[in-house]
A and B are shown apart, each in its own frame.
Chain A
Amino acid sequence: MQSPKTEDEKLQMFFDGELAPEEEAAVRRSLEGSPEGTAQLREWEQLREAMKSVSADWAGEIDSEALFARIESEITAPAVPVTQPKQEQPALRVVPGGRERRVWGGVATGFAAAAAIFLAVMAWPGEPTPVPVARGSEVLEVDFGSNTGTIFEVEGGAGESLAVVWIDDEEVGLP
């Protein structure tokens, strides 16, 4: 069972001359009261004319007769046997050092794998190592100048070691 044609399809088929005579007559009647359909047909007609014109121009530029004559002559020409020079098959030979290359390849692979494993272990984000919490204070360097002094460690309230620098001196007056 054929599906009913849409108006667009009918119009397209009318334009292409593919409708049955009774259908063509019906479309022609409907176009009389349809300015849109008439405009559409005119547009298609202009398009067809433009395409015809372009293809005629292209066809004029190509000497189709000469082209076909050349193709035909190529096809009908006697085939010339092509003799290829016999190529000598390279003789298989034992490559010296092949075994050594395999060994070195294996060694290189081993080294690369070892390096990869080492870096994997180094870069693996394992559990964060607890950073020991440093407490208190400590003297790294001291210069007593012309005085004598002593460095003490005093225990703080939480058991931390606190640095005490004791310097003996004479009382100085206000400047």
Chain B
Amino acid sequence: MRLIRHLVVIAVLFGGLVAAEASAQGSSLVKSDRAASTSSVPAEVLVVLAKEEPGEIDPQLKKLTALRRPPFNSFRSMKILSRPKLKLTPGKDALVALPNGRRVKLTLLRVMPDGRYKVKAAINRPDKSDYLPLLQVVASAGDPFFVAGQTYQGGTLVVGVIVDPKKTAQ
């Protein structure tokens, strides 16, 4: 009888703990669901024309110290051509036109558990896929990634993409 009593008590304890564990897993699932169900995230695309000829560096770019480091340090002038703001919705393409006729296509794939954004990007002419068919990056809020190298008007286009630009990573 003592053994049966022990087993019953342990079974009850076991059941309770299984329930607690399931509850904990449920809350983590909720967290990942939250990530999957992110409605939309603001983003900004920075289109810069950089040239090696001496000139002015746009004052708005002075905060982006990365643009003064290799491989960008060979440019002596930088001019912001456009700075469109857009909303990235998971699974939905957002298009930004570039001055050379190509388009940047951005897709928010998901929000990672660490809060970073997984983004798919492509740069091509309409109905073409000859330049940058696919790029997948993860970026934290407010930290840009760059796609550079397209020649345009004697210079080079530097395209910076900043997801959630109002937030800055701690």
Evaluate contact between A138 and B126: CB separation under 8 angstroms. no
Chain A residue nearest to B122 (CB atoms) is: A143
Nearest-Cβ distance from residue A109 to partner chain B, whole angstroms: 6
B24 at the interface (CB under 8 A from A): yes
Contact with A along B45-64 (1 / 0, CB 8 A): 00000000000000000011
A-B contact count (CB 8 A): 171
Interface stretch, picked from B36-44, B88-96, B110-118, is B110-118
Chain A residue nearest to B98 (CB atoms) is: A172
A120 at the interface (CB under 8 A from B): yes
Q: Give A47-68 interface residues, CB cut-off 8 Å to B.
A: none
A172 touches which of B6, B70, B102 (Cβ 8 Å): B102
Evaluate contact between A165 and B147: CB separation under 8 angstroms. yes
Question: How far is B146's CA from A155's CA once the two chains are assembled, in angstroms?
Answer: 12
Evaluate contact between A109 and B148: CB separation under 8 angstroms. no
Contacts of B10 in A (CB 8 A): 109, 112-113, 116
With most chain A CB atoms within 10 A of its CB, the pick from B11, B134, B149 is B149
Question: How far is B135's CA from A150's CA once the two chains are assembled, in angstroms?
Answer: 12
Contact with A along B13-38 (1 / 0, CB 8 A): 11001101100100000000000000
Contacts of A169 in B (CB 8 A): 131, 149-151
Evaluate contact between B135 and A139: CB separation under 8 angstroms. yes
Nearest-Cβ distance from residue A110 to partner chain B, whole angstroms: 10
Instruction: Give the size of the chain B interface in residues (CB under 8 angstroms).
Output: 55
Contact A145/B129 with A116-B13, A154-B70 known, Cβ cut-off 8 Å: yes
Evaluate contact between B71 and A138: CB separation under 8 angstroms. no
Evaluate contact between A141 and B132: CB separation under 8 angstroms. no
Q: Give B119-134 interface residues, CB cut-off 8 Å to A.
A: 125-126, 129-134
Evaluate contact between A137 and B150: CB separation under 8 angstroms. no
B14 touches which of A112, A144, A160, A164 (Cβ 8 Å): A112
Q: Give A127-156 interface residues, CB cut-off 8 Å to B.
A: 131-147, 149-150, 152, 154-156
Evaluate contact between B134 and A133: CB separation under 8 angstroms. no
Nearest-Cβ distance from residue A114 to partner chain B, whole angstroms: 10
Evaluate contact between B17 and A116: CB separation under 8 angstroms. yes
Contacts of B131 in A (CB 8 A): 145, 147, 167, 169, 172
A137 touches which of B71, B113, B144 (Cβ 8 Å): B144
Evaluate contact between A154 and B69: CB separation under 8 angstroms. yes
A170 at the interface (CB under 8 A from B): yes
Question: How far is B64's CA from A118's CA once the two chains are assembled, in angstroms?
Answer: 50
Question: How far is B128's CA from A8's CA once the two chains are assembled, in angstroms?
Answer: 106
Nearest 3 CB-CB pairs, A to B? Answer: A137-B139, A119-B17, A143-B134
Residues of B within 8 A of A (CB): 3, 6-7, 10-11, 13-14, 17-18, 20-21, 24, 63-66, 69-72, 100-102, 112-116, 118, 125-126, 129-140, 143-152, 169-170
Residues of A within 8 A of B (CB): 102, 105-106, 108-109, 112-113, 115-116, 119-120, 122-123, 131-147, 149-150, 152, 154-158, 160, 162-175
**What are 6 residue pairs bridging A and B, where the CB atoms are less than 8 Å apart in the complex?**
A112-B10, A116-B10, A116-B13, A123-B20, A134-B114, A136-B140
